[in-house]
Amino acid sequence: MKINQAVVFCIAVLLFPGVGFPGDLSSLSAEPTIFAEAHELELAEPIDISSDGELLLLFRPGQQGFELVNTQTGQREVVSRTPCTGYFASISPDKKYVCFKDFVMVDGRRLQRPTLYEIARQSQLPLCEPVFTAGNPVVSARGQIAFTVGPQLIILSPGLDREKEVDLGAVVNVLTFSPDGHRLAFGEVDERISWIEIDSGKRGSVPTTWLHGYQAQFSPDGRALLARSSSGEITACDLSTGEARSFGAARAAAWVDGDTVALVRKSVPHSRVSGTQLLKARLSDGVISTFLTKEGNAELAIKTPVAALVAEDGINLTDTRTGAMSKLAVRPLSADALPDAAKKTLTGTPATGVAKGAKAVVKLAGVPYIHQLYDTADNFPGGASCNATAALMAIQYYNRLPAHPITCTSGGTHISNYGFYISSIYTYNGHTYNIPSSSAWGSTYAGYYGGFGYFLQDLVGSSLQRSIRLKEWITYHGLSSATDDSVSGETGITKARTEINAGYPVVVLCDITSAGHYLTCIGYLTGQHTLIFNDPYGNKAISYPGWAGAGVYYDWPGYNNGYPNLIGVVRYIYARGTDNAAFVSQTVSNGTTYAPGQSFSCTWTMNNNGTTTWTSSGYSLNYVSGTQMGAPTVNLISANVAPGGNASIPINFTAPSTPGSYTVTMRMNNASGAFFGAQVSLTINVANPVPVITVQP
C-alpha cells in the first residue's frame, strides 16, 4: 500500500448503444461499446441555448471559462475566464441572466460561489460569499432564483431578496425548475430524483426504479421528468401516470415535447468518433428513430424547440420539431485563438502526496506516470492506447516490470522506462505477450504486441470484453483484478475511495472524451466529489495532449468543484496487491526477566513478502492479544517498505507490577485496518529483585 497516501448490433457501432425497448426499466440496453480513444479534436462544447436560439453558451478552448454568443448578431462576450466554470450553467427563461458557479481562491483554498451574469450589463453578480460547497443557481419562469450553500436551499425573489431557506439534508449541485416555476427537482446523493414545491414546501421523491440520475429536466408541460445518471443512462417517467422507461446510455438528452426525448449518441467504428446522431425517443412506447446524423464528432445543446450543433466546420441551429437547419456565421473559438494572457489557472490547489488523514488529499505515492503518446515507441500510434497505458501505470505501482529504456521523440526527445511494454513483445511470469492487436480498429492499430496487443486481440469484442482483457493482463502480473460495472452514483465514488484507502490504484473507463477514455485513479479530495488521476493523455484543464497528466483532479459526474468533469463513469478495473509479512527477528529474547514496573523496549523486524508497498502513513505493527504491558495499540512503521524489504518497529513496554509470566502478541495491520502476515509474540518473566545482603565485617 502506498498511501502518502463489440460490438452493439446496429447500422453503426455506437459509442452509447442501448436503443430503448418497450416496457419498464427492467429492459435495459446492452453495456456501452466504448473504445476509449482520447485522440479526438477538441470542440468548444455548447453548454446551453435559449429556447428561441438567440443566445448560446460555449466553453472556451481548454475549458478556460465560457462565453455567451448572440447567434443573430455574432456578438460574443466572456462570462467567466475561471477554468472549468460553465458546467451546468444555464440561461434564464427571460434571457436576463447566465447562471453559473464560479471558483475563487481564498487563503490558498478553492472556494465556490453561485453567480449570476447580468447580460445587459455584462457584469457578474455573486449571490453569496465564497463557501466550501455550493450549487449552480437557476432562475424560474417567475423570476425566482434558487441555489444551494452546503445542504441549504436558498430561494431569492426576482428582486434578490431572500424568500426561503430549506435544509435538503445533503449537498445538491444541480437544480431545475418546472416550466411554471412552482417546483424544483434535484438529484440526491444516491441519484434518487426528488422535488420540492416552492410555495408550500411539500417534498417528494420519484422511485429509483422509475428515474435516477443527477441532472433532472422537466418536460415542457411539466408532467414528466428525465435524468442522466453518472453512468450515462437516460431514464424518464410521467409523474402523473407512472409510465417509466430507460433509453439506455447517451452523451446528452433533453425533452422535445411532453412525450419525446432527444438523445445524442456517437458512432465509433474504429476507435474514433465517425458520426454523431440525434435520436428521438418516445416515453409512451419506447420507439426510437433517427432525427439527424452529422459526420464526425459533434456536440449538442438542446432546449425545446432548438438544438445547437457544434462541429469542426462550425455551428448549426436545428429546429427539433421540423429538422430545419441553419448555419451560423459565428464560429467556436479554437485553442490558437486564445492569447496566452487569456489562459488562466487557479493556484493554491491542494498539494499532492499528502498522507492519509490530511484534510484535503488522500493520494497514492509511487504510481509512475506514462504518457500514451509521448512515452510509447515512435513507431507505435499511441493515440488509441489509453487502455493499456492506464493499466500499466497500475501494474508498475507494484514494480512488477523492470525498466526497459527506449528513446522517444514525441513530446521532446527523452527516455521512457516503461513505454516499451505497451506495444512490444516481452515475457513475464511465464506469459509471453506476442499476441498481435487485431484490425478491429482498422489497419493503423493492427499488428502491435505487448499490453495493447493483448487488449485488442479480439477482432470482434465488446467494451466489456476488452476490459476483461485488461483485467487478465493485470492478473498475469501477479495482482488480483476484476471488472466492475456497478459504479454509478455514490456507490461508484465510494468504491474508488475504498480502493485508494486500501492502497490500490483503480483503472477507470469514463466519458471525459467523446469516444471514452481510460484513466488511472490514484487518490481523491476529502469532503467533495473529486478524484485524482494519472491521465495518460494529459490534463484536460491544461492541454490535451500534454505532459501535465500526473495527479490531475477530475470531478465526479453531477458535481462541479472547479475541475474537468468525468461526464460518465462506465467501469472500474481493479488492480490489487496482496499484503503479507514474515518474522525476521526481535531484540528481546523470550523468557527475559524484568523487575515489576521496569520499562524496556523490543524491536521487531518484519519482512514484506507480499506484493504491496507498506507505507508509513497506513501500515503498523498492532497489539492483538495477551498482556499489553503499556504498549501502544498501533505502532506505525517509520518509512515506506517495498516488497522484499524489511521494517524495524520499536515498541516500548512497562513490565506489570505483579510477578509472573506475561505474553503479548502483535501482528502487522494495513491502512484498511486488516491484519495480515505472521503473528509475533514476546513472553517475559516479572520477578522481584533478589535483595543483596551485605555482611558487615
Q: pLDDT tens digits for 612-624?
A: 889 888 899 999 9
What percent of the residues of the chain are helix, what percent strand, and what percent coil, each to the nearest 5?
10, 40, 55
Is residue 341 classed as helix, strand or coil in its secondary structure? helix
**Where is pLDDT greater, at 623 or 325?**
623
Strands of the sheet with 306-311, listed across from one edge:
298-303, 306-311, 314-319, 325-327
Pick from 555, 485, 512: nearest CA to 171: 555
Judged against a pLDDT cut of 50, whether residue 27 lies above it is answered with no
Q: Categorize the per-residue pLDDT at 42 as very low, low, confident or very high, splitting at 50, 70 and 90.
A: low
Give Cα 79 to chain centroid, integer Å: 27
pLDDT of residue 618: 86
Read off the pLDDT of each residue in 467-479 and give the average, rounded to a whole number: 95
Stretch among 33-47, 300-314, 653-667 having the lowest mean pLDDT: 33-47
CA end-to-end distance (rounded Å), the chain: 68
User: Which percentage of the chain shows pLDDT scores above 70?
Assistant: 89
pLDDT of residue 502: 81
CB environment 307-333: b (16+ within 10 A), e (fewer): bbbbbeeebbbbebeeeeeeebebebb
Read off the pLDDT of each residue in 626-647 and give the average, rounded to a whole number: 94
Read off the pLDDT of each residue in 419-445 and give the average, rounded to a whole number: 95
Strands of the sheet with 175-177, listed across from one edge:
175-177, 183-187, 193-197, 203-205
Greatest Cα pair distance in the chain = 124
**135-166 residue pLDDT tens:** 999 999 999 999 999 999 999 999 999 999 99
Stretch among 68-72, 309-313, 637-641 having the lowest mean pLDDT: 309-313
Phi, psi of 467 (to 5 degrees): -65, -35
Judged against a pLDDT cut of 70, whether residue 257 lies above it is answered with yes
Give 146's strand partners. Answer: 138, 155
Judged against a pLDDT cut of 50, whether residue 645 lies above it is answered with yes
Q: Categorize the per-residue pLDDT at 635 as very low, low, confident or very high, splitting at 50, 70 and 90.
A: very high
Q: Categorize the per-residue pLDDT at 273 as very low, low, confident or very high, splitting at 50, 70 and 90.
A: confident
Stretch among 429-433, 614-618, 638-642 having the lowest mean pLDDT: 614-618
pTM for this predicted structure: 0.79
Peptide bond into 305 cis (omega under 30): yes
Residues in the chain: 697
Judged against a pLDDT cut of 80, whether residue 315 lies above it is answered with yes
Pick from 532, 577, 579, 640: nearest CA to 396: 577
Query: Mind listing the domains of the chain with CATH numbers?
Result: 46-256 (2.130.10.10), 361-574 (3.90.70), 581-686 (2.60.40.10)
Give 289's strand partners. Answer: 280
pLDDT of residue 615: 87
651: left (phi over 0), alpha (psi -120 to 50) or beta: beta
Q: Specify the DSSP element, H or E, that contains 140.
A: none
**497-552 residue pLDDT tens:** 999 988 899 999 999 998 899 999 999 999 899 999 999 999 998 888 899 999 99
